[in-house]
Structure formats: structure tokens, C-alpha cells
Amino acid sequence: MAKNDLIGGSLWEQYSDKVSERMNNPRHFGELTEQDAADLNGKLVVANEGAESCGDTVRLFWIVGNDDEVIKAAKFKSFGCGTAIASTDMMAEMCIGKTVEEATQITNLDVEMALRDNADTAAVPPQKMHCSVMAYEVIKQAAAIYRNVDVATLHDKDIVCECARVSLQMVEDAIRINDLTTVEEITDYTKAGGFCKSCIAPGGHEKREYYLVDILARVRTEMEREKNPEGAQEDDFATLSIVKQIKLIETALDKYVRPALAGDGGGLELDDVRSADDGLIYVHIKYQGSCKGCAGSVAGTLGFVQKSLHGTVSEKIRVVVE
């Protein structure tokens, strides 16, 4: 089947020939039985994994050698898109000949790299990278079943980007060590946010526990406080002139907020700053570009802006969208 028979236009051209070939002719599709395990002097392991976001499911079959814990054979069955089939097929192939421990070190990025036609060109479009995560997850399930342990004990902690398997600690370290100031820089250094983009900000393909915009704002705030531990007290900002207040707010917006929003074609302008009788300072903003009408701008983006101003200017600030 030709590429253009499946998907038309430039999107299909973003799939590698290896992905196309395994979509149509997976090499390890099928199942293994107890008799197969006996013939290979091994133990049959069967694991299942599903992706709630798209409904794809996969069943992985391993035969693990009784004497050496080496995976003698691997097959799979799958209900899902072509990318999921191609990724799982490559994953099954990569497991064969490895020990169970070695197989658990295979990541979805390893699978994607193996599916590339050349090292510099991605095998699938960024928005389909999440399909290879299921292949990574089913390995963990199989290993947990083989070892008779809870699969949670095998998972990495605090994963920010599922597509690239980037941890919270890795993102925080990259920001601090390299003095990063934008989400784009985080992606360049860690690959987080470079694929389905769900981890960049609320409102993406999947809901995430951590978002890069929030991590960046928090870590940059911590870095600023570490540089200037004797900085201005909360009361200082409230007593400044309106001109100085606006200048401090604009500086914070330019450094921490606008670059993050600009990455998705959005922006904001400062409309007004008003002090209230309750001692709070109300910062009125207007969204620009893609932020206008965005579902995430109601809560996610607003929270990000306010959190950034709290950390860099004053906890007394309350952000209001005009």
C-alpha cells in the first residue's frame, strides 16, 4: 500500500519508510503460547497496556529463558493506529535477546530512533510521538508481571514529558545549570515539549500533573530569590509609585511570561494596575494572539501569569483579565 493511499498531503511525508513498512507488514505480530515457552525452555509472560487518550491497546507476549532471564521471543497484538502498531513491532524486536532488566531500559525515544530512516529526521510527526509511549509502558507491565511486583515500582518518578520520558528533576536541573529563560530553550536542552506538546501548558492533548510554563516560572523565581535573598519586602511594592509598580510588572512579564506565551503564538498587554483597600494590587491584562478565546487562558494561563508575578514582584498581586 502506498503512502498516499493512507494519508494525503505533507503530513504523511513526515512518516519514515520504516514506519510505513511496519504499519503494513509488522514482523512480530501474533501471539506466543505455553507450548512455545516449553519448547524454548522459558516462561510465558503476557502483558496488556492501553492509552486512555486515544483508545489504543496492545498485548505483549514474551518468552523469558528459565536459566538466564533472556527474552527468547516476543510478539504482540494491537488495536490502534498505524503508528502504535509500528512502534510496538519495533519494540518487540528490540526486546529479543535482551534480559528483562535490559528490556526495561528501552525508552520510547529508543523506539522512535530505531524507526528513523536517517538519524537527523524524526520517524513520525510530533503529534504522534505519544503513540510510542504505549510500547514503553507495556514493557514495564511485562517486567512487573515476570518479577511479580507492582508495576509502580518500575516507573520513573515525576515524569513531566511522557513523549520524551523527561523527569521533573531533569527539567529543573536544565533550567538552573544553563540559565534557561524560555520553554523553547527547555525543549532544546531536554526534548520535553517537542512532540505532542501536552506538557507545555494546560489545554493540550492530555492533562498533565506538571507543565513546563509553571516549572520555568517557579525555578526562575527560586533562582532570583537565591541571587537576592535580601530583596524587597512585600510592603515595599505596595508603597511604590504607580509608575515604578508598572515598570517592575512589565519587566517580569517580558522576562518570564511573554516568551512562554509567544511560543504558541500568544501574548498579553498590561492594561492597568490598581491598588485596593484590602491591600491587594490588581493587575489588569488583555490577551493577544492565540491566547484570545483559548480554553487554557481562563485558568491555566491566568494562573501561570499570576504565579510568575507572585514570585518575581509581589504576593499581593491579583491578575484580572479584561
Sorting pLDDT into bands at 50, 70 and 90, what band is 299? low
**Across the strands, what pairs with 267?**
288
pLDDT tens profile 92-121? 999 999 999 999 888 777 888 899 999 888
pLDDT above 70 covers a percentage of the chain that reads: 85
pLDDT at position 302 over 60: yes
Nearest to 174 by CA among 220, 228, 242: 220
Mean pLDDT rounded to a whole number for the chain = 83
pLDDT tens profile 232-279? 444 478 888 788 888 889 888 988 888 888 877 788 899 999 988 888
- Sign for the CA dihedral angle at 244, 245, 249, 252 comes to positive
CB 313 within 8 A of CB 278: no
pLDDT at position 1 over 80: no
Question: For residue 154, which phi and psi values (nearest 5 degrees)?
Answer: -100, -10
> Regarding predicted confidence, which is higher, 66 or 161?
66
Q: How many angstroms separate the CA atoms of 21 and 221, rounded? A: 48
Mean pLDDT of 48-61: 76
Q: How far is CA 184 from the centre of its chain?
A: 13
Catalytic (active site) residue 81: no
Q: How many angstroms separate the CA atoms of 239 and 125, rounded? A: 52
Determine if the pTM surpasses 0.75.
Answer: no
Sorting pLDDT into bands at 50, 70 and 90, what band is 7? very low
Catalytic (active site) residue 54: yes
- Out of 95, 131, 161, 291, the active site residue is 131
pLDDT at position 11 over 80: no
Sorting pLDDT into bands at 50, 70 and 90, what band is 22? very high
Nearest to 60 by CA among 109, 111, 21: 111
Least confident of 52-66, 189-203, 290-304: 290-304
CB 264 within 8 A of CB 200: yes
What are the structural domains of the chain? 3-154 (3.90.1010.10), 157-231 (no CATH), 232-322 (3.30.300.130)
